[in-house]
Amino acid sequence: MTDFAYTHYANGYVQSIHDKALGMYTYYAYDANGNKTVEGYISLTNPLDLTFGATDLYQYSTIRYDSHNRIVDILDPKINIHYEYDAVGNRRMVKSVYHEVGTGTRRTQEYWYRYDNMDRFTVTMGQLGTLENGIFTPSGRATSAADTDVFINKGVPGGDGLAISYNFAGERVQVVNASNGSREHYTYTADGYLEEVRIDGNLRALRVNDALGRVTTYHEYTPDGTTVNYTKSTVYHKDGRLFSESGTDGNTLYEYYLAKGETDPSGNLFAQSGKGALAHIYNDANGDQNGGTLTNTYYAYAYWDEAKVNAIQTEAYNQSIGKNHTKWKPGYSDINFDVNGHIKNAIDRVGNRTIQYVSDAQGMILLRDEITGTITPPNYRHHPANYNPGTAANKVARYYYVDGQRVGDISNTGDSRVDYLQSLKDRKDKKSGNYADWTPIASADFDQRYTPIGANTPGNVAGSYTVRSGDTLQSIALSVWGDSAMWFYIADANGLTDTDVLVAGTVLTLPNKITNVHNNSGTFRPYSPGEAIGDTSPTLPAAPTTMPWAIYSRVLGSNTPVEV
């Protein structure tokens, strides 16, 4: 049962929220202009009594503003962030001081930004320095306005910086990555949908789009650009939901829940024609005809303000296992919510994996703390290539916010946003097992704006938005993309102009295009619950076998079977 106690300032602004059910205390303060100057989230020792102190201070930030009401400093016991702006309000520099997750080592992250005459970033997360004989050297600031030797560049090799170019249509056409020196080039269809990705001159990815901008076929290529090494074809429902996929990952079918109390002719609660939440995914791996493994994944939901997944079960079958199939137990994850409907934890039973979450009063995640032990070998004869005990690990991510917008995150899980070349490598190197060979990689993101193009970015299908009373094209673009200036994409996709009055209840199309070009005091990266929650899918146990080795090696690998 929820139990909130609120206090307010004389002007009606919220001062504090005491969640007595969860023992969380939220505190805000404001300046004369209504800017939030303090934002704090505290876990109480005694859920009912503030005087007993705190068990954790997730955030207690003091925020400072300039004369234009732009944030210039965020001062917190765990992080400090300083912003500088150019004459038209673009972020020129972001300097952050934080402590690494796990080691506690104090680090400083300093990013510099450059813009074109349309205020689009042309260098993001770069460095300040000088250029001599084609060699860039990081340096301090210029000593005077006449000192033109110091400028903003993507930075030295191995850094985080990127140099970005646009075409006349305003589309991102080239990115040069300081991290690995790769040069990505993008081409688009006549109506502005991403089509080709070339890396260092070679074709590495190709999207085939239908008339609605949906990606119906996707190919990835070998480094020389001559051979397809990954492919996926997709069929959609009219409303953009997935119907089926086929390709390198096998054939996949998606089924959805029918209306409450409704069943199909076979008595099932879900079907491919269902209009409800995702209920079932069927995948045949490399094809049943090739001896592939068939998997069925089922989803159950808890209903709060919206449907939220609270259980996932994955079952597998391989015809070669024969009568021993009954020993192959399913993988199972259950996801639990607190009394407010915010995610509390997720447990991967077979994977020996537990994820704990802490959220703020609005449900945005402040902490994800994942603890994993090794996986016990199954108590049946299994093939070692299909069993990985994983690695005992603790994966942690902390997130920081000001007024509902994320301003930074730190973790030991590595960068969540990588260039296209790295994303291709990650797919190739993906390993099975519970944290197979996992090692912590300290990372921090205080840019919170740039989003690289990747296999799933921009999305493969348009999104949708239901208009609420008072919405404008600008306010919708701000809420879904973090940039009100991108309103014209919504207008074009829906046959609207900036003077049209939006009617509540109208469903608008949100085109799947690159909308990430500005970085100023009014832009931000929209909150993504799925990203903050992370992977909650269940681990499937190792496949059993009782078959002769000569047959088994053709099905699952080449190592020697093990009797456990």
Are 406 and 534 members of one domain?
Answer: yes
Put residue 409 in one of left, alpha, beta given phi > 0 → left and psi -120 to 50 → alpha: beta
Are 446 and 506 members of one domain?
Answer: no
What pLDDT was estimated at residue 555? Answer: 47
Put residue 492 in one of left, alpha, beta given phi > 0 → left and psi -120 to 50 → alpha: alpha
- Closest alpha carbon to 418 in 193, 225, 198, 177: 177
Are 397 and 492 members of one domain?
Answer: no
Are 385 and 506 members of one domain?
Answer: no
Q: What's the CA angle centered on 426, arms 424 and 432, to 5 degrees?
A: 135
Pairing of strands 252-257, 278-283: antiparallel
Assigned token pair, 83? 């912003």
Are 486 and 545 members of one domain?
Answer: no
Put residue 176 in one of left, alpha, beta given phi > 0 → left and psi -120 to 50 → alpha: beta
Assigned token pair, 139? 């340096």
What pLDDT was estimated at residue 144? Answer: 79
What pLDDT was estimated at residue 563? Answer: 43
Q: What is the CATH number of the domain that holds 483?
A: 3.10.350.10
What pLDDT was estimated at residue 354? Answer: 97
What pLDDT was estimated at residue 546? Answer: 61
What is the secondary structure of 305-325 as a DSSP string?
A: SSEEEEEEEEEEE-GGGGGGG
Are 276 and 399 members of one domain?
Answer: yes
Are 409 and 540 members of one domain?
Answer: yes
What pLDDT was estimated at residue 321? Answer: 82
How many domains does the chain fold into? 2
The reply to whether 429 falls in a domain is: yes
Domain span including residue 499 = 463-510
What are the 10-residue block averages of pLDDT along the chain, 564 residues in total?
A: 96 98 98 98 96 94 98 98 98 98 95 98 96 84 81 94 97 97 98 98 98 97 97 96 95 94 87 94 76 90 93 92 85 97 96 96 97 86 78 94 98 92 84 73 96 95 97 98 98 95 97 98 96 95 68 46 43
Task: Please list the alpha-helical segments (H only) found in 347-410.
Answer: none
Are 345 and 424 members of one domain?
Answer: yes
The reply to whether 340 falls in a domain is: yes
Are 343 and 489 members of one domain?
Answer: no
Tell me how far apart the alpha carbons of residues 297 and 328 are, in angstroms, rounded to a whole number. Answer: 14
Are 477 and 539 members of one domain?
Answer: no
